[in-house]
Amino acid sequence: MTNDQYLFTMRNFRYLFLILFLVPCLAGHSQSKTAANLTEAYRFESGNSTLFAAYAADADKQKLPKVATFFRAIAKTASVHAGNFEKVLSQMGVTVEPSNPPIILKTPQLNVDDALKEVRIEAGIKYQEYLDQATADGEKNAVKALRWAKETEQQSLQLFVNAANALAKENTNTLPTYYWVCPKCGNLYNVPNPEKECSFCYTEREKFVKVQ
């Protein structure tokens, strides 16, 4: 082997070594973004579950039982989403602690408005960014959990609007007496007899949780 051939071989070997070393590092860095995103999403949902439950207790004190029922239902939905995120994070080797947000109670109307703003952020651009990252990383379980959270929250936005309008018109008797929550994906139903299975995750109706 000539000196030029030796130098060429060693140079290519160094490039190959760098590629073999950097690719796993870059992949790990990308996956760490999904883990960080899921951790943040878990904190959103666990915090919301606590906050919305407090809103429900306050609505009970204000003699607004149907508003309280609504808040209990969306607290349950948030709890399901948090549980799904925690499960995926555990599979990724990440341990998380529940979020304990400060509980600031306002009027029932403002509580609904604040909850609506929070869910709109998650159902909109925030969870879409997380979904795009998880898809790019090939994290199928994370994609499924995020998609369920995003799509079920998008579907529930109208229920928030209904609650806000009922409070504004001082006609909360028009709100549902109870709701059904899918325990697998967190989808929320406000009809007396939901379909036979969840439209998102196909869980049987018999397993739905009734909130009243």
Q: Which domains does the chain have, with CATH numbers?
A: 31-175 (1.20.1260.10)
Supply the pLDDT for residue 4. Answer: 52
Residue pLDDT, tens place only, 86-128: 999 999 999 998 888 888 889 999 999 999 998 898 888 899 9
Supply the pLDDT for residue 12. Answer: 52
The pLDDT-based confidence of 32 (bands split at 50, 70, 90) is confident
Three-class SS state of 171: coil
User: For a pLDDT cut of 90, what percent of the chain falls above it?
Assistant: 73
Supply the pLDDT for residue 89. Answer: 97
Residue pLDDT, tens place only, 121-151: 888 889 999 999 999 999 999 999 999 999 9
Q: DSSP assignment of 139-168, as one string?
A: -HHHHHHHHHHHHHHHHHHHHHHHHHHHHH
Residues 97/81, Cβ–Cβ less than 8 Å: no
What is the reported pTM? 0.83
Residue 81 has pLDDT above 80, yes or no: yes
Supply the pLDDT for residue 201. Answer: 95
Backbone phi and psi for residue 2, each to the nearest 5 degrees, phi listed first:
-75, 165
Residue 11 has pLDDT above 70, yes or no: no
